[in-house]
Structure 1
């Protein structure tokens, strides 16, 4: 059903484009042919009239020099030689026709319909014969009152125009066919990205695989740009889907241990012969495991939101020095109990940035938790805040156990716990959440560490989240 709808839409859209292209192509060709025909017709008419007026002057000069005898000889000579087109010549003097030379085939023209010009004037007239052919006549009245007329038939000019029309009609028909074929071809090629786009979407709907991508050419074509945007959308959807699947897998894996403990504690409490104090202790253990499960779920959901880009961040003006001090302050008692020294060195001129204060506090608290957890006594954790590279940099340095070269690239992976952390309680997502929150703010985080020589975590944040 979707395939039929898809094909119908694409074909209708393609047919409309092809018809528009064909219509514009055909109208353009028709206009060119009409304009060319008009130019040809006017050019031939102008040429014939110039030749007619030249003949009038030539014959008038011959008549003025030698009278009818010379004129008649010149006309006969021209007609015999074929140098000039057949002409009609008439001379009227004193009310009588002194000379009349007209081809036999022109006898159907009624010469009485010609209007004589005024004295000393000349004019051009067209004498029709009821058909398509006409006789163009140039008249001139000499000073002595003699009327001199010379005419040419439009048959040859009409024949040229008729041939042009026939040829133009054939050319127009050929142009129409070429335009139709070209329109269909160009439309098919132009809409190829749209076909690939609909095919990719159809495959996704049928298979559920969001890893499908639309082929793009990397040009500035609007359809190619649409394909690029669709690919970006598919990457975002694929990231969300993979994040959901990974989160579910991780939740199933990490819930198994606390749920087993919870079940074991409940089964032991249900055994007979338990005291009230033992029941209280069992309930306390159950609550502890429930809190552990709730914390795990909350942390995984926060991490999934941050990694998929769907975490909603507030845009408040945040004094980062205060945020870091608040995060360090949360671990003062823990560090004191463990025999560690905490120190904060803050540049009061570091300024503020735009961000989500609770999320940033959470990220730096996780860094402090990680540093204190893996730093044995007597040790120290030193935090530095300063302006750097157009933003603010926070460096957390500890004297802990350090991180091996094999573990360093993997400490940012969710649920990963290195060999040194097996003995410590934790969910294995603290550093993953740190990186996700920092990157959601457009920042970056890195680590420098060697086993036995402590670790140094560097966090850089832009002053404005629009720098992302």
Structure 2
């Protein structure tokens, strides 16, 4: 691509200043030559001051032309940027500037401005989604607890009181689950470098999670297909437990009754690979593309329990171990999560 003659802003100022000096010098040299040749400054002439008036007029014309040029080419883009920044400061994040500009510095400045506005817009959207989602997640169990407290204040049988207390306990557990996930996610994002790593039995940890969730998968009469050979891994035991808990809980939650869940662990020189498959309701591609986003829930009716943080937390934990997580899913056929954890995170 051919380089422009004056691609940078400072070069425009240098060129304009130099051009101004050359023009003024040339004009004055020519005028002095004419004045000397025709003896125009002779006091005997009635119009001997005319050359001075002409020089002043010509200087004003040259100054006006150069001022218009500078304002049009250099100062106007800065003014447009100032107006755009003023609109962004008032909350208009749809503002975008035309990046095609002859001055390279101005084009880059406009590009950086557009990128900044896009980032601010995404942050504002995320903030709004966060506030609305968290407020909704807190509001629902709080309203439930409040309702059952009011019912307990009225006359009720012992069996009804027990039901109300159990449902109040469910509401408090939901709030605890939400706050725990938010705190864990914040800890991972801000303090992930300081995670405590140690050697532990990965296959035994997955078995512990399966036993912990036994009441849930037994209730649906699910069949578990397990391949868990002895595997030792160097990682953060606490947070990896959360990974298997989240993935297994989702596999059970979205499985059909009398279905199957397949959990396979393979180990090689690079590291263990874990695959968790279910035969549940599955997901569309639009859902799988956003499934690891914070607070994203494909079930907008909130008929299923959750707050959209489990898989975001899972992915963050895997990334902190320098691993990978992939998902494949087909509606009405089930979903498959494949995780890889490198034995040597530094060289992964």
TM-score, normalised to structure 1, is 0.49
Name the CA distance, whole Å, in 2 between partners of 1:282 and 1:23.
84
- As a proportion of its length, which structure holds more strand? 1
Alignment of 1:382 onto 2:264: yes
Name the CA distance, whole Å, in 1 between partners of 2:248 and 2:212.
11
* Residues matched between the structures, number: 314
SS in structure 2 opposite 1:268? helix
CA contact (8 A) 1:193 1:216 kept: no
SS in structure 1 opposite 2:92? coil
Name the CA distance, whole Å, in 1 between partners of 2:176 and 2:263.
29
SS in structure 1 opposite 2:275? strand
What does residue range 424-443 of structure 1 map to in structure 2 within 5 Å? 425-434=305-314
Alignment of 1:369 onto 2:249: yes
Q: Work out which of the residue numbers 190, 198, 201 in structure 2 matches 1:312.
A: 190
Q: Deviations along 1:76-125, whole A, 9 cap, x unmatched?
A: xxxxxxxxxxxxxxxxxxxxxxxxxxxxxxxxxxxxxxxxxxxxxxxxxx
Alignment of 1:447 onto 2:345: no
Aligned CA RMSD, in angstroms, stands at 5.3
Q: Relative contact order, CA 8 A, sep 6+: which one is greater?
A: 2
| Paired position in structure 1 for 2:338 | 458
**C-alpha displacement at 1:239, in angstroms?**
1.5
What does residue range 97-108 of structure 1 map to in structure 2 within 5 Å? none
**C-alpha displacement at 1:237, in angstroms?**
1.9
Q: Structure 1 residues 162, 362: CA separation in 2 closer, same or farther (over 3 Å shift)?
A: farther
Name the CA distance, whole Å, in 1 between partners of 2:80 and 2:194.
44
Name the CA distance, whole Å, in 2 between partners of 1:317 and 1:252.
30
| Paired position in structure 2 for 1:182 | 66
| Paired position in structure 2 for 1:264 | 147
**C-alpha displacement at 1:403, in angstroms?**
0.9
Q: Work out which of the residue numbers 190, 200, 212 in structure 1 matches 2:95.
A: 212
Q: Structure 1 residues 405, 205: CA separation in 2 closer, same or farther (over 3 Å shift)?
A: closer
Q: Deviations along 1:109-146, whole A, 9 cap, x unmatched?
A: xxxxxxxxxxxxxxxxxxxxxxxxxxxxxxxxxxxxxx
| Paired position in structure 2 for 1:201 | 85
Alignment of 1:27 onto 2:24: no
Unaligned runs of 5+ in 2: 1-8, 41-50
What does residue range 378-417 of structure 1 map to in structure 2 within 5 Å? 379-384=261-266, 394-401=273-280, 403-405=282-284, 408-409=287-288, 412=291, 414-417=296-299
Name the CA distance, whole Å, in 2 between partners of 1:346 and 1:183.
80
Asked which structure has the greater CA Rg, the reply is 1
CA contact (8 A) 2:288 2:328 kept: no
Q: Deviations along 1:155-191, whole A, 9 cap, x unmatched?
A: xxx989934998x998998577436523541343223
**C-alpha displacement at 1:266, in angstroms?**
0.7
